[in-house]
Amino acid sequence: MLLLSIHPLFFSLFILLIGIVAYIFALKYLKKRAKILGNTRLGKISSLIKFPLLLLIIFLYARMFILPYLTDKRLIIWFAHLNNILVIISLIWLLFKLSGFLIFLLGERYDVHKPDNLNARRILTQLKILQQVINFAIAVVGIAAILLSFEEVRKIGINILASAGVIGIIIGFAAQKSLALVLAGFQVAFTQPFRIDDVVIVENEWGRIEEITLTYVVIKIWDERRLIVPVTYFLEKPFQNWTRTSADIIGTVYLYTDYSLPVDALRTELNRILKDHPCWDKRIALVQITNSKETFMEVRIIVSSSDSSANWDLRCDVREKMIRFIHDNFPDCFPKFRLFPQESIS
């Protein structure tokens, strides 16, 4: 009887509050069940949609059960318009999260951390671009719906349609660079000159492709910096992709020694170093003399690895141990300058 005597507006707000509390407890229960059952999908979807879905429910409830109890005409118009905008925004947010969950479902069986991950990186790159396209379309439709909810914008839209030719040319010139970026993003998605987790050298920086969007690419540099590059850069300028078809790579170590150093001893030592080395893939191990100067000879050591990171560690280790080997066994074979008295020459 007490509830019936309360104004219907306050009663609706009270029911809304109860619903929000019930929603929060239901989400907590779902997360707990997902953790117990080890269901990552249930846990992820509940985490993704909890806020946008809650806002959408609140705004729809307000439209159905609060708006009818307002009496002032101007307040009704203002509240209805604001409510429409908030419903559209929350719906856009919810669709963004659902598109992310859809991409997660499609890509969860592809592991980019396994050694042979070329196909996985190709699929995940396409999925990332697809998500960007979906979100772009959702955003365009959502923003258009919000703008068209204003009477003034609808009138401007009619005028634009009436003079579509001139306006179209103006907009085309203004949006030329933006459209070029978006089209370049589509081209990258289909031609795939690079993929997620590819090792590339851009602007003399070594790094991995960390993120691909329709307009820019994020490269994670080896020292944890991030290089942001427009997508069009990769279509207009040359760059190195070390993992385009395979992650296998060959690296070189250069040593500069005296002519008296026995090269066969270096070959024996290299085989000993590489025998059980975790970074060597057992494909290539060579020692070659590649140059000779007045005071030293250039010794090139070639070693192979399954990826560039392992090859870098391998080269550093080989260089260090080879220098130590020469120091301990052939200390007189480091580069030296020879000076002879004039009398001894004559």
pLDDT in tens, 85-113: 999 999 999 999 999 888 888 887 777 66
**Statement: residue 320 has pLDDT above 90:** yes
Q: CA angle at residue 196 from 192 to 200, to 5 degrees?
A: 80
**pLDDT at position 218, please?**
93
- Most confident listed range (9-18, 35-44, 106-115, 138-147): 138-147
**Selected residue with higher pLDDT from 188 and 270:** 270
Average of pLDDT values for 122-143? 84
Domain span(s) for CATH 3.30.70.100 in the chain: 249-333
Range in 63-67, 109-113, 193-197, 303-307 the model is least confident about? 109-113
**Residue 74 — φ and ψ, nearest 5°?**
-65, -40
**Residue 323 — φ and ψ, nearest 5°?**
-65, -40
The kind and range of the H/E element at 299 are: strand 297-305
Q: Per the confidence metrics, is the pTM higher than 0.75? A: no
Range in 1-15, 148-162, 210-224, 266-280 the model is least confident about? 1-15
Question: Within the chain, where are the H helices?
Answer: 2-5, 8-37, 40-65, 73-107, 118-148, 151-162, 164-174, 176-191, 231-236, 263-274, 308-329, 342-345
The class level of CATH for 249-333 reads: alpha beta
Residue 236: pLDDT band with limits 50, 70, 90: confident
